[in-house]
């Protein structure tokens, strides 16, 4: 996280970060394994076609 100035939590940016961070964490917890699996499968298929 970027260090801010005193009172940064009272800014719009601070509020957005406060609410966005848990939402992003929940999204990644739920979806990241499938995203990684899909990317790895595509990359393996791409490499296998080159040989």
Q: What is the mean pLDDT of the chain?
A: 88
Is pLDDT of 24 > 90? yes
Is pLDDT of 34 > 90?
Answer: yes
Is the pLDDT confidence value at 1 over 60?
Answer: no
Is residue 4 one of the residues assigned to a domain?
no
Stated pTM of the model: 0.61
Asked if the structure places residue 30 within a domain, the reply is yes
Look at residue 34 and tell me if it is in a domain.
Answer: yes
Model confidence band, residue 5 (pLDDT cutoffs 50, 70, 90): low
Question: Residue for token digits 């699996």?
Answer: 37
Q: Tell me the residue range of the domain where 42 lies.
A: 26-51
Domain-embedded: residue 15: no
Alpha helices in the chain (DSSP H): 12-50
Q: What is the DSSP letter of 8?
A: G
pLDDT of 45 > 90? The answer is yes
Is 70 exceeded by the pLDDT of residue 9?
A: no
Q: Give how many domains the chain has, as a whole number.
A: 1
């Amino acid at each position: 996280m970027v260090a801010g100035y005193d009172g940064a939590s009272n800014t719009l940016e601070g509020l957005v970060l406060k609410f966005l961070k848990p939402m992003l964490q929940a999204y990644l917890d739920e979806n990241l394994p499938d995203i990684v699996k899909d990317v790895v499968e595509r990359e393996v298929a791409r490499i296998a076609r080159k040989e």
